[in-house]
Amino acid sequence: MDLLLIVIAGTVLLAVFSFVVGLRTRQGGSLESRLESFKTDRTGGVTAKKGKKDEDEGPVLRKRSYSGLPILSAFFGQFAGSERVALHLEQAGVPLRVGEYFMIRYAAALLLAAVPFVFSQGIFAFILAISLGVLGYMLPSVWVGSKKSARQKKMNGQLVEMLGMVANSLKSGYGLMQSFEFSGNQLDAPIATEIKRMVRDANLGMSGEDALDAMGERIASADLDMVLTAINIQRAVGGNLAEILENVAFTMRERERIRGEIATLTSQQRMTGIIIGGLPVGMGALFMLINPEYMSLLFTETAGRFMLLAAIGLEVVGAMAMKQILAIDI
């Protein structure tokens, strides 16, 4: 129980420290930033803030809030990784801010880390608490990653249809943004949501290039990057944009066909990996039913517990290795 109290005390101390640092960050430099925004140059106009910060923030409408609380938003805004995490959540389609996301991760880690101390105390409980804490911290990230992969896969399947609509609209005399707006009204989510957001940003003052680049960042698809590159090249050198998009759509259809063939050829290997990975788990469950006393040594003896942890770790490493081997990029 002493270790549990230490964990709780450390968590409270970390929360107080984060609150104090965020409060000082919000208070410090606020007057200077306000005066800087009203500083005028020699011509009498208001000078724009210079520096790397504005270059990183990008065009208008792309500045984001990292938390519903201004103090936490200012605190998370200090870290360079906050923008990357926020973009990761947008790409997954998860309606969470950075502060909420990390609060969920910390809460899951603390909850799972406290479970072993409820049943026993000792060195094994401490090691198991650390392992479960890391697992609890990583589970939300794994869930968001799976949502991101599923969303990107669905949007990649919709890109060919979107390009066909845009190309036909361009042939009919519509402009580029009008063609995108038409395709956004005809398609389903999630690609329609991103197209409507891009058109809305362009209508509210963002340039067309910046709106397209922002949509490319949110979707993070190699196929869409190919489309945006084709559009940028056409704007620079000219040409028939409708024909270019049709050629890009043909290339994307061929890539999807090759991906399907690869998935068919590697299906046997994937099934073999699943069977081999699930065989130790199934055999362990079978032995627990046949001879529970024999298998209980893995849970009651110290050596058995460490062997069980090592087996779980090797299972995870083997699954990750098999996944990397079968991940063929096209």
Instruction: Say how far apart CA 127 and CA 135 lie, in whole Å.
Output: 12
Tell me if 195 sits within 8 A of 184, measured CB to CB: yes
27 has pLDDT over 80: no
* Mean pLDDT for the stretch of residues 152-176: 86
Nearest to 62 by CA among 175, 214, 231, 165: 214
Measure the N-to-C terminal CA separation of the chain; round to a whole number of Å.
Answer: 53
Over range 254-274, report the average pLDDT.
84
**How high is the pLDDT of residue 8?**
56
Query: Residues 185-207: pLDDT tens digits?
Result: 888 888 888 889 888 988 888 88
Q: At residue 1, does pLDDT exceed 80?
A: no
pLDDT of residue 7: 54
Q: How many CA atoms lie within 13 A of 280 on its CB side?
A: 13
Tell me which residue of 282, 164, 273, 291 sits closest to 227, measured CA to CA: 164
Q: Over the stretch 220-243, which tens digit does the pLDDT of each residue have?
A: 888 888 888 888 888 788 778 888
- The residues, ordered by sequence, that sit 6+ positions from 19 with a Cβ below 8 Å of its Cβ are 71
d(CA 226, CA 293): 60
Strand partners, 91: none
pLDDT at 51 (0 to 100): 40
**The CATH classification of domain 154-263, taken from the options 3.30.1450, 1.10.287, 3.30.1890, 1.20.81:** 1.20.81
pLDDT value at position 2? Answer: 56
State the average pLDDT for the chain: 76
The mean per-residue pLDDT over the stretch 43-66 comes to 45
pTM: 0.62
pLDDT in tens, 12-26: 555 544 544 444 444
Is residue 36 over pLDDT 60? no
Say if residues 307 and 298 touch (Cβ distance below 8 Å): yes
Q: Are 177 and 202 in contact (CB under 8 A)?
A: yes
Residue whose tokens read 């919000």:
26
Name the H helices within the chain. 2-27, 30-37, 52-57, 70-77, 81-92, 98-119, 123-171, 176-186, 191-203, 208-219, 222-237, 241-265, 267-290, 292-295, 297-300, 302-326
Residue scoring higher pLDDT (20 or 108): 108
Q: What's the confidence (pLDDT) of residue 315?
A: 87
CB atoms near residue 169 (< 10 Å): 20
61 falls in which pLDDT band (50, 70, 90)? very low
- What does the block give as tokens for 124? 């094994």
Could you tell me the pLDDT band of residue 49, with boundaries at 50, 70 and 90?
very low
DSSP string covering 276-300: HHHHHHHHHHHHHHH-HHHHTHHHH
Average pLDDT over every residue of 162-191: 87
pLDDT value, residue 43: 39
Q: List the domain boundaries for the chain.
A: 2-31+65-145, 154-263, 266-326
The reported pLDDT for the residue numbered 245 is: 86
DSSP three-state, residue 46: strand
Per-residue model confidence (pLDDT) at position 39? 45
Q: How large a percentage of the chain has pLDDT more than 70?
A: 78
Using the structure block, give the residue that is written with the tokens 């094994």. Answer: 124
Provide the pLDDT for residue 19: 47
